Amino acid sequence: MKGMNNKLLIVNLESKKISDFAISDEILDNYIGGRGLGVKIFTDRIPPKIDPLSPENILIFATGPFGGTAIPTNGRFSLVTKSPLTGGIFYSNSGGFFGVFMKKCGYDGILIEDALKTPGYLVIDGEEGAKIKDASEIWGLDTEETLDKLRNIEGQNIHTLMIGPAGENLVKIASIMNDAARAFGRGGVGAVMGSKKLKAIVVKGGKKKFEIKDPDLLKKYIRVAQDKIKVVPITRSSLPKFGTSALVNVINILGMFPINNFQKGYDERSFQVSGEEINAKLLQEPEGCFACPIRCGRLTKAGDMKGKGPEYESVWALGPNLGVFDLITITQANYLCNKLGIDTISCGGSIACGMELQQNGLIKNEDLQFGNASVLKKLVKQIAYQEDIGAELCEGTSRLAKKYNSFETAMQVKNLELPAYDPRGAIGHALGYATSNRGGCHLTGYMASLEIFAAPKKIDRFTIGGKPDLLALKQNQKAIEDSLVICAFAGWSLGLDYYARFLTAITGTDYDVITLTRIGERIYNLWGGAGGKSTSIEEKVD
């Protein structure tokens, strides 16, 4: 397929054999790339009942045909694996620059299989090839220390994926961090990387170009798309000006901002952690991913600490959902989650679950009290190192609530902690949680765009009729976004009609909205998982 390398790097950690494999055009035609390609490879290769933390599990990182072009917000890429938190096949999505430079090294994806006996890291050099190196000097370091050390060893012009102590300690809510500040969050994917004793993946030296069928036509489409992004209010002003935490006041006013482990949906103090307050008290400068005109990221300073964020979900999970409204403490806890490699949503959800168990007299731990901001950073560290009460919280809400026979305190679907939208406030969004194929996820089919933000049109958030069909459409659209790959925020301004034009110009094959929707449905429905040997890749003959 034009726009792709048609090549996958397969790394066997046990044998340290590294091979290039060809990806057929047929597979790319049917699954595009990114999440779709990852799901297809995973379900072809891996039996459903494997242990997620066993060597039999695999990690697949993949980009798509939009990656590395000038299409707005194309800097994202996808991960597919089996989740130790949910027990099911899982996908995650991250931005930044790693995915683009992996593609520039000549690969559309990386497949990691088996496990190392001693800690190591993988270097993919666009000029010198791929190699596994000893990680004894960086094992045990936090993500910021790891990034600094890798830059000293491999050079400053690198991009990295790495785990922190949480991943090393097989914490079931651990993330894989992307250049230390972004994340493949949710699902405990960092524990999968930790189980393989793989500390980091480095890409550098990539200069490869990929063929585009009609570059002039693509440029015209891109100019139109950029103009549209500058017109729609949320991509023109809200996200660039206030970041994702612009949502705090809106969701709180609607009574959908979960407080104290979803015990209520509004608190008058919530404005204290809003995007407006972050701008006024913490913001150093905005930042963004590769080819992103929106630049919703926030580089901030809180007290004596600096870092990225907090994003909307993080400021809520580590703040109001715990009864905490101290912005400095919340932001420092967010930095600490990034340094230790912990998913902020599941971290906050697990602590909130513990606090309600304490409230109900089922856990005897004085630290676990709603509003107790002074212990928040301590609890995050205990989770990363499985120390004291952290050894229970690190298992996620489902296992924690089950231990105390209090299932109603676990705010989750399919063992994945819910994000910062109370489902009682929007029927379609609630249905999205219930039917998401990775668990309690708002991104799988973001019905809030219609029910709350009137994009592209407003529908009543409390009605039922017609919402299953709309949700299925949103779920299929998101599968396409994750496979092309493009940021979901672009979808506020653009849509499948724009994506079909982009893909047609890149590949020379005619795509339309119906074709893309069918591909999205194919990807979504493949999620069940089938065993057997892969038929989606074929060894390249030299």
Is the model's pLDDT at 539 over the cut of 90? no
Residue 197 in this model has a pLDDT that exceeds 90: yes
Contact between 350 and 400 under an 8 Å Cβ cutoff? The reply is yes
Percent of the chain with pLDDT over 70: 97
- The number of beta carbons lying within 10 Å of the beta carbon of residue 373 is 17
On the question of pLDDT at 439 being above 60, the answer is yes
Assign residue 180 a region (left: φ > 0; alpha: ψ between -120 and 50; beta: otherwise).
left
Report DSSP letters for 83-136, one per residue: -TTTSSEEEEEE-SSHHHHHHHTT-SEEEEES--SS-EEEEEETTTEEEEEE-T
pLDDT digits 0-9 by tens, 208-260: 998 999 999 999 999 999 999 999 888 999 999 999 999 999 999 999 999 99
* Averaged pLDDT, 94-100: 97
Q: List beta partners, residue 259.
A: 264
Report whether pLDDT(530) > 90.
no
Task: Give the pLDDT confidence score for residue 457 in this predicted structure.
Answer: 84
Average pLDDT value for residue range 183-201:
97
Q: What would the pLDDT profile of 371-415 be if each residue is shown by its tens digit?
A: 999 999 999 999 999 999 999 999 999 999 999 999 999 999 999
Q: What is the pLDDT of residue 538?
A: 35
- Residue 527: per-residue pLDDT: 72
Phi–psi pair at 184, nearest 5 degrees: -90, 90
- What is the per-residue pLDDT for 506? 98
Mean of the pLDDT values across residues 466-484? Answer: 96
What's the CATH fold of domain 7-212?
Answer: Aldehyde Ferredoxin Oxidoreductase;  A, domain 1 (3.60.9)
Tell me what percent of the residues of the chain surpass a pLDDT of 90: 94
What is the rounded distance in angstroms from the CA atom of residue 147 to the CA atom of residue 164? 11
The conformation of residue 311, written as its DSSP 8-state character, comes to -
* pLDDT at residue 421 greater than cutoff 80: yes
- Binning pLDDT at 50, 70 and 90, where does residue 270 land? very high
Looking at residue 107, what is its pLDDT? 97
Beta bridge partners of residue 302, listed in sequence order? 305
SS3 405: coil
- Residue 485 and residue 488: Cα distance in Å, rounded? 9
C-alpha to C-alpha distance for 505 and 207, rounded to whole angstroms: 22
Mean per-residue pLDDT, 101-111: 97
| Cα–Cα dist 257/252, whole Å | 5
| Orientation angle between helical segments 344-359 and 327-340, nearest 10 degrees | 120
pLDDT confidence of 528, banded at 50, 70, 90? low
- Tell me which fold the domain 245-416 belongs to: 1.10.569
Lowest mean pLDDT among 27-31, 90-94, 133-137, 534-538: 534-538
Q: Which residue has the tokens 């949906």?
A: 265
- Per-chain mean pLDDT for the chain: 94
Distances, alpha carbon 398 to alpha carbons 172, 358, 436, 506, in Å: 11, 16, 17, 44
Record the tokens describing residue 131, joined without a space.
């190699």
Q: Is the pLDDT of residue 531 over 60?
A: no
Report the C-alpha gap between 261 and 406 in whole angstroms: 13
Q: What is the 3-state secondary structure (H, E, C) of 28-94?
A: HHHHCCHHHHHHHHHHHHCCCCCCCCCCCCCEEEECCCCCCCCCCCCCCEEEEEECCCCCCEEEEEE
Confidence category of residue 542, pLDDT binned at 50, 70, 90: very low
The residue extents of the domains of the chain are: 7-212, 245-416
Span between the terminal Cα atoms of the chain, in Å = 20
- Report the Cα 167 to chain-centroid distance in Å: 16
